[in-house]
């Protein structure tokens, strides 16, 4: 599945890009870089590409003979390359000190320091300094005496000799998942990007938050008293955490749940942790347009304001079924129900924004899988055709629809001059019950890569950030990930497709 490494981030690059791609057109002449572990794998490729861009490369290698041969190879491909080889065993603090003294004595400047050398999953041994070898090699020596700014990175899953000490099981996993691996030029790309690309002048996004931040982090110090929010799908996972954190910040939370008994228990749990929380529970099955209409009527009859509407409920990669309205279930649940709910409550939101003088916010939970959909994006003519159905493409289609919905509604609200923002988001890869209908392989992948996932408080952070944080005031029609604006697919930016989807949604809901 090559699409798993094709997603482009905010930089405009993806896992498919190579070290040469991310440094194309960059002039490194006048810069000097030290690279540890430069004789194989991504270290060697990093040395090659930096030398290719004009950087004076110092190969800090345990095996200087091997490094000298690598230097010759690089120079054959790039005769103008400037490369020095110095001895360095990063597992030995004495060797590190000697290297540093030798380097300083050479009078060279130092612009870039790349700590690439490493060992992985070795049998237990101690370094010459009596330190466990992996800690000594991968961390301790490379931190010795360095007063510099450091960016850390994950190069990707790459078949290099780093895994030479790994267990048989680890080697098998590399074999099984070889189609998810990067090649070495791709694996070296992030290192070279951080070393040379001018786009990275800071370690965090513009918001100041990242994928590591939790929902509490991004709403810290924010007073939500006086605000009212509806959250769909609030009984588990990121929906429940969103409800909890908003209630913690003083927001009056309305839990719009299919299972009201489960929601009532969740309400009790939240109030135990936050006795001052104000929470109501109302029944809503977003897959049914009738339920959506009944919910909207009940909510309006309560006379409550509405500042924040969060479309969180969803299903993923289900077997083919039709909703009560004869609509393919993922499209009905993930998109159409929220489209209808938004339209029915929009006047309430407009009045609230006008009366309280504070912008309303609509937040739609989408997914990076919006990129994996049917040809053309939305399969309008065969929306409910079982013969053409693909559970993952249908999921991607529904999540693409969320982003297009945000784009088109933003356009319409701006034309009216209404103070309501609409944004879509990718919460991250999170192990929740959303994937309960996914295939065995998909579930296995979640298990294997669980250490790359976010936890639920982190997964709920972008939703809460968009719902409450003042830093996104006035920002609308965007796609967010990791608490920052992200770049969606080209299809997700198609204004004509967004208009066509709007018309389709209106047609499907007109009698409801």
CA-to-CA dists, residue 432 to 437, 454, 511, angstroms = 11, 11, 35
Strand spans (E) along 400-448: 420-426
The alpha carbon torsion through 452, 453, 458, 462 (nearest 10 deg) reads 100
The two beta strands, 484-485 and 479-481, are antiparallel
The contacts of residue 157 (CB under 8 Å, 6+ apart) are 174, 177, 180, 181, 182
Bridge partners, residue 485, by sequence: 480
DSSP class of 319: P
DSSP class of 344: H
Alpha-carbon distance 40 to 27, whole Å?
A: 24
The contacts of residue 284 (CB under 8 Å, 6+ apart) are 232, 256, 257, 258, 291, 292, 295, 341
Q: Provide the token pair at 210.
A: 């990242």
What 3-state DSSP class applies to 474?
A: coil
Kindly write down the DSSP assignment for every residue of 26-45, as one continuous string.
Answer: ---TT-EEEEES-SSHHHHH
What 3-state DSSP class applies to 283?
A: strand
The alpha carbon torsion through 322, 328, 331, 333 (nearest 10 deg) reads 0
What 3-state DSSP class applies to 221?
A: coil
Taking the mean position of all CA atoms in its chain, how far away is CA 456? 13
Contact 390, 416 (CB under 8 A): no
> Looking at 103, 193, 299, 389, which residue is catalytic?
389
| Sign for the pseudo-dihedral over CA of 94, 99, 100, 102 | positive
Query: Dmax over Cα atoms in the chain, in whole Å?
Result: 81
Alpha-carbon distance 141 to 387, whole Å?
A: 59
Contact 428, 459 (CB under 8 A): yes
Q: Is 389 a catalytic residue?
A: yes
Alpha-carbon distance 189 to 13, whole Å?
A: 9
Q: Provide the token pair at 316.
A: 């993923």
Alpha-carbon distance 42 to 32, whole Å?
A: 18
Alpha-carbon distance 496 to 433, whole Å?
A: 34
The CB density around residue 358, as the number of other CB atoms within 10 Å, is: 14
Active site residues: 389
């Amino acid at each position: 599945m090559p699409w798993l490494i094709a997603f482009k981030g905010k930089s405009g690059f993806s896992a498919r890009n190579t070290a040469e791609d991310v440094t194309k057109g960059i002039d490194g002449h006048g810069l000097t870089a030290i690279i540890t572990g430069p004789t194989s794998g991504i270290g060697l490729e990093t040395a090659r590409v930096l030398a290719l861009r004009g950087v004076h490369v110092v190969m800090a290698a345990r095996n200087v003979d091997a490094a000298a041969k690598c230097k010759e190879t690089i120079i054959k491909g790039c005769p103008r390359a400037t490369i020095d080889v110095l001895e360095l065993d990063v597992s030995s603090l004495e060797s590190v000190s000697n290297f540093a003294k030798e380097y300083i004595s050479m009078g060279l400047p130092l612009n870039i320091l790349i700590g690439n050398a490493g060992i992985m999953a070795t049998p237990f041994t101690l370094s010459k300094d009596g330190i466990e070898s992996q800690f000594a090699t991968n961390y301790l020596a490379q931190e010795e005496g360095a007063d510099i700014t450091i960016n850390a990175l994950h190069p990707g899953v790459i078949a290099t000799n780093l895994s030479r000490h790994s267990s048989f099981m680890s080697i098998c996993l590399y074999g099984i998942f070889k189609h998810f691996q990067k090649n070495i030029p791709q694996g070296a790309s992030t290192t070279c990007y951080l070393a040379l690309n001018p786009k990275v002048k800071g370690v965090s996004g513009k918001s100041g938050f990242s994928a590591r931040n939790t929902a509490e982090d991004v709403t810290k110090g924010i007073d939500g008293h006086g605000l009212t929010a509806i959250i769909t799908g609030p009984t588990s996972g990121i929906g429940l955490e969103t409800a909890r954190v908003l209630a913690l910040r003083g927001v009056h939370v309305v839990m719009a749940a299919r299972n009201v008994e489960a929601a009532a228990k969740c309400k009790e749990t939240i109030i135990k942790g936050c006795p001052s929380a104000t929470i109501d529970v109302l029944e809503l099955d977003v897959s049914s347009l009738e339920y959506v209409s009944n919910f909207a009527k009940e909510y309006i009859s309560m006379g409550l304001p509405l500042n924040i509407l969060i479309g969180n409920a969803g299903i993923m990669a289900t077997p083919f079924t039709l909703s009560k309205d004869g609509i393919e279930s993922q499209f009905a649940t993930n998109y159409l129900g929220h489209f209808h709910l938004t339209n029915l409550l929009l006047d309430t939101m407009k009045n609230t924004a006008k009366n309280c003088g504070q912008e309303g916010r609509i937040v739609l939970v989408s997914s990076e899988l919006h990129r994996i959909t049917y040809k053309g994006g939305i399969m309008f003519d065969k929306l409910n055709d079982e013969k053409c159905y693909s559970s993952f493409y249908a999921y991607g289609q529904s999540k693409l629809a969320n982003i297009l919905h945000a784009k088109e509604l933003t356009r319409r609200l701006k034309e009216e001059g209404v103070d309501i923002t609409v944004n879509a988001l990718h919460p991250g890869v999170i192990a929740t019950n959303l994937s309960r209908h996914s295939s065995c392989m998909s579930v296995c992948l979640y298990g294997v890569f669980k250490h790359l996932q976010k936890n639920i408080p982190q997964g709920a952070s972008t939703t809460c950030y968009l719902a409450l944080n003042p830093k996104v005031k006035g920002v609308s029609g965007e796609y967010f990930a990791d608490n920052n604006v992200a770049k969606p697919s080209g299809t997700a930016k198609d204004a004509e497709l967004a208009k066509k989807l709007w018309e389709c949604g209106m047609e499907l809901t007109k009698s409801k």
